[in-house]
Amino acid sequence: MTNLRQIEREKLEQAGTVHWFHWLIVGLSLCCTLFAWYYSKSQLNEKIESRFEREADQAVELVRERMQRYEDALWGGVAYFETTQQEIELPHWKKYVDSLKLMDKYPGVNGMGVIHRIQADQLPAYLEKQRRWLPEYRIHPDREAAGAYWPISFIVPVDSNDKAIGLDMAHETNRFSAAQRARDTGKAQITAPITLVQDEGQTPGFLFFAPFYQGERPSGVEERSARFQGMVYAPFVVKELADGTLEKEKRHLGIRITDGEQVLLDEHHADESDYDPHPLFTKMVQVPMYGRTWTFDIWSSRSFREAASSSEPWTILIGGLVLDGLLAGLFVMISRASRQALVYAEGMTHELEQQKLDLTRSNAELEQFAYVASHDLQQPLRAVASCCQVLLDDHRDKLDDDGKKWLDMAIDGSTRMKVLVQDLLALSRIGTHGKTLQTVDTQGAAEEAVSNLRLEISEKEGDIRLDPLPLVQGDSGQLVQLFQNLIENGVKYSGKEKPLVTVGARRQGKEWLFSVSDNGIGIAEQYRERIFVIFQRLHRRDEYSGSGIGLAICKKIVERHRGRIWVESKLGGGSTFYFTLPAADQPLDRTQNATDRQLT
């Protein structure tokens, strides 16, 4: 009796201990939570960075496209000179430019004008012609022309650009070198940063040149220089160009544009309303620009930071930690309950009947605790799912797609946790809450299992076939669960085929060998033992649902009946689960019903 008591005590101590696999489950759950948090945070950062890259590239591309449109306008003016037979003077040019609706179609441009190359001996006649339309016209600044003058003959609109009329491009190296580049290459060119004489704000700007020649387009540098007549040009103030091209209201970026060491546009300072001194992202891009190289230094702005902020990763982390804590609490509460059972067992009397009575009371208290623990654990899970569902239903129009996705994930996670808790409790109660083994008709147990699964079978148009099944010694409720889990697996993992599940049995000595065969996707050889281990899954949850506990429950039920369970399968060729159960003293004779019973 003392040895028996000692053995019972050791068993209770072992049952009352939180084992390594419990902590492994909690640890894995915690790792999954941290991974989900890290993954969602990484995905969010990648999404934000991708958005910045997209907006930065778009800003650069807008400037490129706008400059291309300006170039097209200049070449249109060149074509006007090349195709018009008469000599073009200010009234003709004004009429042409007005027809373009320059300010409407090309925002940011200050005007469009014409520059002629005038030799010294042509100067008197040139001035006389110009003063017919502009009486005060003169070439400035005054200088002794060593070769030729390159004055602005006229520009439209005249009023806002009157200070530029007559300005000699040859008086200053920057303007003149760009003009010569345009003449020699026959391509549109821009100057380095300059201050326009007509710009009262004295902010950085540049000139855009497109050359035109006498006769057909020349092919070489010498021929271009000899037949060069002048240029169509447009003056730009960079700030006005940026305002017309990169509207601040439509972007969340700060931009600095430089040409070499000279700054064309600078929004990286505290005076800018959307300036962020510590930007989330920066990018520098060098762009060839009509003979010059512009460097775009792009920063994310304060409004970009505000738009990018999201609490989704932290919501996932906090929600996951709460669920992990609840799972750990469940294990600890179960452990404490088992320790209570040990305390009760140590107070048992030496009399066997009293020992049975105390043990019965302990089991009753354990069952009550299991019910309370499952109820208390599932209540917060239901609250989390309900709150998320209310938030999703009542505020759907205020949530973006990501917000809806994370709420769906939280609801799905709560539901899966609830199923996991129920399966864990079912697994833990197999050995402690089963009925006394007695004669059971497995035919009725299998038919009840099929009835329980009629919805799943109907949805997949399954075909369930039951051979005549015998009487065994067993727990009727647990045998229904055993058949139900195995048949459900056959239906669930049927792949693209309509499920066909066959249940049969044959006598082997004092046991019956049962088989549950299906035509499903099969199981690889290396996984045939692993599938009976708790929480072991061979497929992603989005492919096949489940908690990973069903076959572990089957194994535990069979072992409680002193039987064995295994599987034979070929990947892609279906599976057959075998298990043994002890035969009843008087096996049921069903030889007269040799015809298979088929349930669909």
The answer to whether domain 84-243 and domain 434-589 are alike in fold is no
pLDDT > 50? residue 512: yes
Q: Which residue has the higher pLDDT, 492 or 515?
A: 515
Angle ∠(146,149,151) on CA atoms, nearest 5: 155
Q: What is the mean pLDDT of residues 49-56?
A: 90
CB distance 262 to 193 below 8 Å: yes
Q: What is the dihedral of CA 267, 271, 274, 280, to 10 degrees?
A: 70
Distance CA 465, CA 598 (A): 4
Task: Name which of 365-369, 407-411, 521-525, 593-597 the model is least confident about.
Answer: 593-597
pLDDT > 80? residue 431: no
Q: What are phi and psi of 48, to 5 degrees?
A: -65, -45
pLDDT digits (tens, 9 = 90+) for 154-185: 999 988 888 899 999 988 899 999 999 999 99
Task: Give the pLDDT score at 590.
Answer: 45
Task: Give the pLDDT score at 27.
Answer: 87
10 Å CB burial of residue 363 (0-12, 13-18, 19+) is middle
Q: Which residue has the higher pLDDT, 448 or 251?
A: 448
Distance CA 472, CA 91 (A): 112
Task: Name which of 289-303, 424-438, 515-529 the model is least confident about.
Answer: 424-438
Q: Which residues pair with 84 in a beta bridge?
A: none
Q: What is the mean pLDDT of residues 58-74?
A: 91
**CATH H superfamily, domain 434-589:** Histidine kinase-like ATPase, C-terminal domain (3.30.565.10)
Task: Give the pLDDT score at 312.
Answer: 74
Q: What is the mean pLDDT of residues 104-133?
A: 89
CB distance 378 to 418 below 8 Å: yes
Residue 186 has a CB neighbour count (10 Å cut-off) of 19
Instruction: State the pLDDT confidence band at 531, using cuts at 50, 70 and 90.
Output: confident
Instruction: State the pLDDT confidence band at 587, using cuts at 50, 70 and 90.
Output: very low
Q: What is the mean pLDDT of residues 48-59?
A: 90
pLDDT > 50? residue 586: no
10 Å CB burial of residue 448 (0-12, 13-18, 19+) is middle
Strands 500-508 and 463-466: parallel
In the CATH scheme, what is the code of domain 84-243? 3.30.450.350
Q: Say whether pTM exceeds 0.85.
A: no
Average per-residue pLDDT for the chain: 80
Please report, rounded to a whole number, the percentage of residues in the chain having pLDDT higher than 90.
25
Instruction: State the pLDDT confidence band at 519, using cuts at 50, 70 and 90.
Output: confident
Task: Name which of 242-256, 283-297, 393-407, 448-462 the model is least confident about.
Answer: 393-407
Q: Where are the domains of the chain?
A: 1-47+311-433, 84-243, 247-308, 434-589
Among the listed residues 293, 274, 276, the one whose alpha carbon sits nearest the alpha carbon of residue 285: 293
Residue keyed to tokens 């303007």: 175
Task: Give the pLDDT score at 178.
Answer: 94
